[in-house]
Amino acid sequence: MATGAPPPCMRAGVAPTGAPPPGMRAGAPQRRTAAGRRTQQNWVVMTTLIDAPPQEEDGLLPAKRSKTGGGLGKYLVVRFFLIFPTIFILITMVFFLMRITGDPITAALGGRLPPDALQARIHEAGYDRPILVQYTEYLGQIATGNFGRTISDNLKVTDMLATYGTATLELAINSLVVALIIGIPLGMVAAKYRDKWPDAVLRVFAILSYATPVFFAGLLLKLIFSVGLGWLPVAGRAKSGNEIALTALANPSGIYWLDAIRSGNMAALGDVMAHAVLPAIALGLLTGGVFLRLVRTNVIGTLSKDYVEAGRSRGIREFRLVTKHAYKPALIPIITVMGLQIALLLGGAVLTETTFEWKGLGFQLAQYLTARDFVAVQGIVVLLAVIVALTNFVVDVVAALIDPRVRY
Amino acid sequence: MSRKDGSLIQRLPVISHLRKSVGLQRGMLVTGLIISALFLLTAALAPLISPYGFAQHFDTQQPPSSAHLWGTTSGGYDVLSRVVWGTQTAVLVIVVAVILSIFLGVALGLVSGYIGGWLDRILVVIADAIYAFPTLLLAIVMSIAISQGRSSMLGGIMAAAISITVVFIPQYFRVIRAETIRLKAEPFVESAMVVGASSVRIMARHIYKNATRTLPLIFTLNASEAILTLAGLGFLGFGIEPSSAAEWGYDLNKALSDTTAGIWWTGVFPGAAIVLTVLGLTLVGESMNDLNDPRLRGRRRAGKTAPTATAGPTANSTPENEVTV
């Protein structure tokens, strides 16, 4: 049973997960990725909690009511512990892949140092010991939050992550705002005018926004708005004067617009905003296209429900029908899948930051890659893996809290 | 399910889709097919089309002119030639990556789904972990492992292809695994077991043929993802050296510094090539997806436009009337 048939809950059509196998239902690859992963994760949960679903299915309401609290708690605990194998596998994989071809010191400094000096540095850092010893030590260090020091500029990896992580966070927030502004209203428009020309235009727009690499979108935006029209700055996060002023604040949050607002520095705020527009649009377009399709599909699903028809018969305006009656019930799957776009967002952020010289994790990653500083690369990659795993957990929790059907 | 015409297997999927399609869906499919065909044609005829070699050097950076239709880069390469030759690199990488990942993904999926038990669980958890990870980062790690980031002629293409492969294996794996689990319970598999066929034979003969019907669809979608990943790798400096092959992502990276000077021709053309190629492949994949799903497929109706929709997380809640049209 455990492996033989799909778990009953999936067949029952639990909103965000109850879809046919991932690949067959594929629209955009991103969405397939996200939704597919959910299905799979829940499947894993199912195998551990295989005794729970039949109670759901039987529809024995009183029994279910009394079980609900414990069911949710159990679900959350199991889901929480499922983070660890994911992170563990990723860390292990990254560690061994990065060591397959040699130690990081040879990669970074090989050819620049004489062989004996190189050997001494390798010995000093302990890279000449058996790989399993190093691996165990590495796991221990990570567990205590010690990621080592970067080779090229001898920073502590954790400090480096903290410094540049906030910039990436700022970019992610900005682009998420853009993506929501683009995705949700346009998605509703596409759903309303399904198969009419606005829908066709918006679908092509969504595919285009997926087909355009972030760095090409960024390049075009720079050509048009920075170089051609001269409206916006070409690159960076702020003018250097403002940047210094903002980092010199007491307890800077590292998110520039937040710091500018806190210090009441309106000139700096304007400058930061101007710098933030293009990167946010470039990255926001990518995710916005995915959101658009997501909203469209789900609102189409709810728009044809009976209660919408009933509302229409009572004379509720079409605008209200779409934005309230159809949109709200569609929100649960939308929120879930949106949360799972974090992997797409982070991958896009790496490229966006490089394009706009936005000094965040992605920009640093590219720098360290060119410098062949694989300790730093490993640190960044592991951090991002942890972020993705945690976000997925949070998304599952939110989904379980909103939608009672997710609680097995 | 019982289609036996192996010789037509390459042509059947797309042609049957074309025949089924109608209205807007047909327009999308045809557009996609035309763009994809152009892409393949350019790759095949690259030596004839491109005026210069991809590594041929010119002295100064020039704007588009009659000698260099799309201008030259700051590195002294002819943009048109590099874009044209770039199609070849893209096709090569797609082919290698997709073949490798189909081969490994299908094999693992069949074994995992058929045998089940602990092997299945471990493979699922690993595939899940890989799946959850940003594809670009995974590809970066892989290309470090394969070539330490230094890429040569064929090594670069292989490194890029293998990096992309690792990203795709979980996708093929889970699709095939899900199908295998479904098929395992089918009567014809059970009867084969009763007759005494070996596991290998059941997997290879009974399940494999039935489980792989969705592959053309994943193939097109992954091909477009492969191009984007390759370009991303190249953009970050992990692509292929400019002297060994033309690669769009690398050219875009070099074009980035040109933008401030208002030099547009180095970036716009390779970028447009990526967008067009991905657009074409995605259109084909999307239309095939819609046409495969009876709930989403448009039907000819008297005087009415055919409904189209993309599948989504709530595919289950697609209106009943379409299921039963």
What mean pLDDT is predicted for residues A264-275?
72
**Does the structure's ipTM exceed the value 0.90?**
no
Interacting residues of B137 by C-beta distance below 8 A, sequence separation 6+: A346, A347, A350, A381, A384
CATH topology of domain B49-280: MetI-like fold (1.10.3720)
| A216/B contact by beta carbon, under 8 A | yes
- pLDDT band for position A391 (50/70/90)? confident
Of B228, B311, B319, which has the smallest distance from its Cβ to A213's Cβ? B228
Secondary structure (H, E, C), A36-97: HHHHHHHHHHHHHCCCCHHHHHHCCHHHHHHHHHHHHHHHHHHHHHCHHHHHHHHHHHHHHH
Q: Does position A335 have pLDDT exceeding 60, yes or no?
A: yes
- For the entire predicted model, the pTM comes to 0.74
A151: three-class secondary structure by DSSP? coil
Partner-chain contact A219 B259, CB within 8 Å:
yes
| A384/B contact by beta carbon, under 8 A | yes
| A351/B contact by beta carbon, under 8 A | yes
Q: Does position A28 have pLDDT exceeding 60, yes or no?
A: no
For residue B116, the tally of other CB atoms under 10 A from its CB is 17
Least confident of A27-31, A369-373, B285-289: A27-31
Which one of A93, A202, A226, A403 makes the best mutation probe of the B interface by having the most chain B beta carbons within 10 Å?
A93
Which one of B28, B133, B210 makes the best mutation probe of the A interface by having the most chain A beta carbons within 10 Å?
B133
Residues B142 and B147: their CA atoms lie apart, in Å, by 9
Of A25, A27, A372, which has the smallest distance from its Cβ to B149's Cβ? A372
Instruction: Note the helical H segments in A82-196.
Output: 83-99, 104-109, 115-125, 131-143, 157-192
Partner-chain contact A5 B185, CB within 8 Å:
yes
Are B35 and B280 in contact by the 8 Å Cβ rule? The answer is yes
Q: Of A14, A3, A21, which is closest to residue A56 (Cα–Cα)?
A: A14
Residues A327 and A310: their CA atoms lie apart, in Å, by 16
Partner-chain contact B262 A227, CB within 8 Å:
yes
Are A160 and A147 in contact by the 8 Å Cβ rule? The answer is no
Residues 120-179 of A with CB under 8 A from B: none
Q: How many CA atoms lie within 13 A of B315 on its CB side?
A: 29
What mean pLDDT is predicted for residues A171-194?
86
Which range, A120-129, A198-207, A340-349, B298-307, has the best average confidence (pLDDT)?
Answer: A198-207
- pLDDT band for position B151 (50/70/90)? low
How do residues B260-297 score in pLDDT, each as one tens digit? 776 777 778 888 888 888 888 888 887 777 776 665 56
Which one of B79, B115, B123, B137 makes the best mutation probe of the A interface by having the most chain A beta carbons within 10 Å?
B137
> Scanning every residue of chain A, which has its alpha carbon at the shortest distance from the alpha carbon of B304?
A195
The whole-number pLDDT of residue A83 equals 80
Q: How many CA atoms lie within 13 A of B80 on its CB side?
A: 16
Buried b (16+ CB within 10 A) or exposed e, A165-201: bbbbbbbbebbbebbbebbbebbbbbbbebbeeebbe
Q: Does position A322 have pLDDT exceeding 50, yes or no?
A: yes
What mean pLDDT is predicted for residues A121-136?
76
B78: three-class secondary structure by DSSP? strand
Spell out which residues of chain B touch residue A300, defining contact as CB-CB under 8 Å.
309
> Scanning every residue of chain A, which has its alpha carbon at the shortest distance from the alpha carbon of B313?
A16
